[in-house]
């Protein structure tokens, strides 16, 4: 069995948990890879380093991301479309993607060895631009959402949007979020978008502060091609892919579609999506229930 671990190095609680996970799998004789910078903070280990998706062993059984939801999102940089199962151990605040709490970790480690867990496939997004933007092409994937927004101006932008070459709308707004079901509980939700169950084969287009009373979020099938052009008073606008932010010229043609392969999440048999909604977002909380 092979496992890999990634975490930010500035959090003592995360480092303690990573050290415990490494010790556990070392006692089981498992092969262990640890992200290169993180490995420097883990004492007494024979783990091997990785610093990119290219030298992450594709035979890895489970990839541990220890931290908050941002750490889970950054783990995608290493996993990409390899379909290596990902599990998040929460040492952050909300922990919507990092579903395993520190007090649950020991039991979960034994469940992983016994293969007593559930896997879920989650769709991810891929972006292409014309003309090409080199920074985006190096890693064009996002798990939660791809968003487009104004840059260095308080003026609205106009966002011309097509789905499968059919005209949808010109949004007069601060921006537009294109989210997966996984990302529907993130930026899209904060902008008034719907909650979408992870297994739904859908994407949602959610405008950010639209200056129009009759423009609302739009749910589309996840096998469509979404084409977007942004215009405005500035020379450029912003594109964010989860936690990464890029500046691109106005009138760049942006094409967004579902990536070929999903990302695979590992979760406990006792944790489901609706449990997470109730426990983390207090969804449906009512004193009458």
Query: Are 229 and 132 found together in one domain?
Result: yes
pTM: 0.91
For tokens 């406990």, the residue is: 268
| Domain carrying residue 6 | 2-122+262-280
Which pLDDT belongs to residue 284?
81
Q: What is the pLDDT along the chain (289 residues), one digit of tens a residue?
A: 999 999 998 889 999 999 999 999 999 999 999 999 999 999 888 899 999 999 999 999 999 999 999 999 999 999 998 999 999 999 988 778 888 988 999 999 999 999 999 999 999 999 999 999 988 888 999 999 999 999 988 899 999 999 999 999 999 999 999 999 999 999 999 999 999 999 999 999 999 999 998 999 999 999 999 999 999 988 999 999 999 999 999 999 999 999 999 999 998 887 788 888 888 888 888 878 7
From the centroid of its chain, how far is CA 258? 13
Domain membership of residue 289 (yes or no) is no
Query: Are 254 and 130 found together in one domain?
Result: yes
Which pLDDT belongs to residue 78?
95
Which pLDDT belongs to residue 93?
82
- Give the tokens for residue 83: 């379909």
Which pLDDT belongs to residue 134?
87
Query: Are 118 and 241 found together in one domain?
Result: no
The residues annotated as belonging to the active site are 69
- Residue 242: CATH number of its domain: 2.60.200.30
Which pLDDT belongs to residue 227?
98
Query: Are 115 and 157 found together in one domain?
Result: no
Query: Are 208 and 249 found together in one domain?
Result: yes
Domain membership of residue 285 (yes or no) is no
Query: Are 97 and 135 found together in one domain?
Result: no
Domain membership of residue 94 (yes or no) is yes
For tokens 């080199």, the residue is: 134
Query: Are 63 and 74 found together in one domain?
Result: yes
Long-range CB contacts for residues 270-276, cutoff 8 Å, separation at least 24 = 271/99, 271/100, 273/197, 273/198, 276/96, 276/99
Query: Are 33 and 85 found together in one domain?
Result: yes
Task: Give, in degrees to the nearest 5, the angle at Cα 153 between 175 and 255.
Answer: 35
Task: Determine phi and psi for 203, rounding to 5 degrees.
Answer: -130, 160
- Residue 70: CATH number of its domain: 3.40.50.10330
Task: Say how many residues make up the chain.
Answer: 289
Q: How far apart are CA 221 and CA 190, in angstroms?
A: 21
Which pLDDT belongs to residue 281?
84
**What are the start-end ranges of the E strands in the chain?**
2-7, 31-35, 48-50, 62-67, 86-90, 118-122, 125-130, 141-142, 145-149, 157-163, 166-173, 175-179, 202-208, 218-221, 226-231, 236-241, 244-249, 253-258, 263-267
Neighbours of 82 (CB within 10 A): 17
Q: How many structural domains are present in the chain? A: 2
Query: Are 178 and 59 found together in one domain?
Result: no
Domain membership of residue 286 (yes or no) is no
Query: Are 109 and 191 found together in one domain?
Result: no
Domain membership of residue 67 (yes or no) is yes
Query: Are 24 and 79 found together in one domain?
Result: yes
């Amino acid at each position: 069995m092979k496992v890999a671990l990634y975490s930010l190095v500035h959090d003592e609680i995360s480092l303690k948990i990573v050290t415990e996970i490494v010790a556990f799998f070392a006692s089981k004789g498992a092969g262990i890879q640890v992200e290169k910078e993180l490995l420097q903070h883990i004492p007494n280990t024979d783990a091997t380093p990785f610093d990119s998706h290219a030298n992450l062993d594709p035979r890895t059984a489970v990839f541990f991301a220890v931290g908050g939801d941002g750490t889970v999102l950054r783990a995608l940089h290493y996993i990409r479309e390899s379909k290596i199962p990902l599990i998040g151990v929460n040492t952050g605040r909300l922990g919507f993607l990092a579903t395993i709490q520190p007090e649950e970790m020991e039991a979960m480690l034994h469940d992983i060895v016994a293969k007593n867990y559930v896997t879920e496939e989650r769709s991810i997004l891929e972006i292409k631009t014309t003309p090409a933007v080199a920074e985006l092409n190096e890693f064009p994937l996002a798990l939660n959402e791809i968003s487009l927004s104004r840059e260095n101006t308080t003026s609205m932008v106009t966002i011309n949007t097509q789905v499968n070459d059919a005209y949808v709308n010109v949004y007069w707004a601060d921006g537009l979020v294109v989210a997966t079901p996984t990302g529907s509980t993130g930026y899209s939700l904060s902008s008034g978008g719907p909650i979408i169950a992870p297994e739904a084969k859908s994407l949602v287009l959610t405008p950010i502060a639209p200056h129009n009373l009759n423009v609302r979020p739009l749910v589309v099938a996840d096998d469509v091609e979404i084409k977007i052009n942004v215009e405005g008073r500035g020379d450029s606008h912003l594109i964010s892919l989860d936690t990464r932010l890029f500046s691109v010229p106005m009138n760049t043609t942006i094409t967004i579609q579902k990536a070929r392969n999903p990302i695979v999440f590992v979760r406990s048999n006792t944790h489901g999506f609706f449990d997470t909604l109730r426990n983390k977002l207090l969804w449906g909380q009512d004193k009458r229930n």
